[in-house]
Structure 1
């Protein structure tokens, strides 16, 4: 084999370097905004619900089909942003953190979240469809089943984002690849998830905390001085 061929082969085997500080983390900021809007602002639980009063099938008449429709639109956009964010992380971060297992967990966790949220937001879209343009396709009992699925459906999927936050904490406080303040802040959305699951079996808190975490953590990566994005 010639020297030029050997050199070319070695060049192809090396990871492509990233140049300068990138703004790719802004994908995470956009995903965080989408998470808050799609999950919280467009939540389909009726307002004024008394926690001491159990739901009945009559609740399906109180849910806004328009909010459910808007939620699936914004939710699916958020799913797409999470997938692009995972791909950008792999491209820009992993070549700079070759010895870090946590760095490889982040895009896997974001991808897992995107897959689960495709279902969660899809159920919201289905509810909006069958209480809107295709009203009458299901009876009240069938719609109530969809409502129950939507109780936590768009919240549970953000567990993957919580796992990504755990990996960021490790990368920050142990490996020093991310600014320390981002690691400390990233503990905040993790603790309530652990506490509520351990104490009550409540599965939905990841959807409450993940949007804010994505906004703050990835804005910090975009404009701060973390080693992985200099």
Structure 2
């Protein structure tokens, strides 16, 4: 089979749709990757499906029909499809990261000031955040970083701890979680004391990071000192975006 430019573009389009969480496209990509016969016969792999949409895709991709439900394709063509998917994934990832960076800038602007809420409301904010994100694998780096920072702050009674939070931790998990991270951090208050930190930690997972923190020169008894690391976070992130 001589794979044409049209065929390549058609396959690339399916892959990009799969990357963007289109379930039907993702199912077809998984079908191509996992449902071929092993080993190939006479240099050809066979695929069997009764799914009309899959059959239409196979036809557009220039698979050859043996009968109504069985199609064949060469090993070389499958290797080409794998390479096209890899390239498409790389391009998609770069574009997606740029979109997320732009959304981070917008979110930091929209949620620019600390939230005017009570300690009771702050605890409720933490509880709701954990309820939604505790089992979200994409939120694990943020949660572990937050817990580590809070625990490190408890060890330093007199100086403010700074959290060197990387931009990637905020942008790797799509727009909605990103907004939740920023809202949670903005919900903290510079007057929060160790007792409240202990209260917050009761609701957070126990696993935590050990790195990415340092003791600053800011004293905790100074105004707006206890969560000075929040503002360091945003300054650090914005430095990546200009």
- Under a length normalisation based on structure 2, what TM-score does the superposition of the two structures give? 0.27
- Under a length normalisation based on structure 1, what TM-score does the superposition of the two structures give? 0.28
Structure number, greater radius of gyration: 2
More helix by share: 1
More strand by share: 2
